[in-house]
Amino acid sequence: MFTGIIESLGEITILKKDKSNLNITVKSSLTSELKIDQSLAHNGVCLTVVDLDLENNSYTVTAIDETLNKSNFRNLKVKDKVNLERAMKLGDRLDGHIVQGHVDETGKCIAIKNENGSWLFTFQYDSSKNNITIEKGSITINGVSLTVVNSLINQFSVAIIP
């Protein structure tokens, strides 16, 4: 479980296809604190550390076909930045919301509007899912915990404050 509060940025250094899976190597300041089999959110997606390279301050995770189909990971490129968050600890403050790290689907940003110093982002998603958001409900976008401002059948908006 995660909170949707980004802890660090990582940089993709290697992308290697392995049958239908994708091995993703990330350089990160968190590497020295990681262990094999540890869960770590990458842009909000829970992935398991499968290899550590402490000498190069990097680690590798594997995204399976299901993850690749439901996330934006197929679009990742070497040198891309990813939002990272380690799993929350029981007893710690919960500043975002409870995030499982399982992705329902990807959406498309269809509008960005300046609202007196804040930003209103509107996203569209597959309407066959019906309305998967509720106003004032929580949603995670690329690992960031946000509150839904407007909720419609196939779109929703979130506000970003300065």
**pLDDT tens column, 121-154:** 999 998 787 777 889 999 999 999 999 999 988 8
Q: What is the pLDDT of residues 25-74, one digit of tens each?
A: 999 999 999 999 999 999 999 999 999 999 999 999 999 999 999 999 99
For residue 157, the Cα-to-chain-centroid distance in whole angstroms is 17
Domain 8-86: give its CATH code: 2.40.30.20
CB 37 within 8 A of CB 48: yes
Angle at 70 between CA 44 and CA 10, to 5 degrees: 35
State the pTM of this model.
0.89
pLDDT at position 31 is: 98
Q: pLDDT tens-digit profile of 84-121?
A: 999 988 888 777 778 877 888 889 999 999 998 899 99
Q: Walk across the sheet containing 118-124 and list its strands.
A: 108-115, 118-124, 155-160, 144-151, 138-141
How do the domains of the chain map onto residue ranges? 8-86, 108-160
* Amino acid in position 84: L
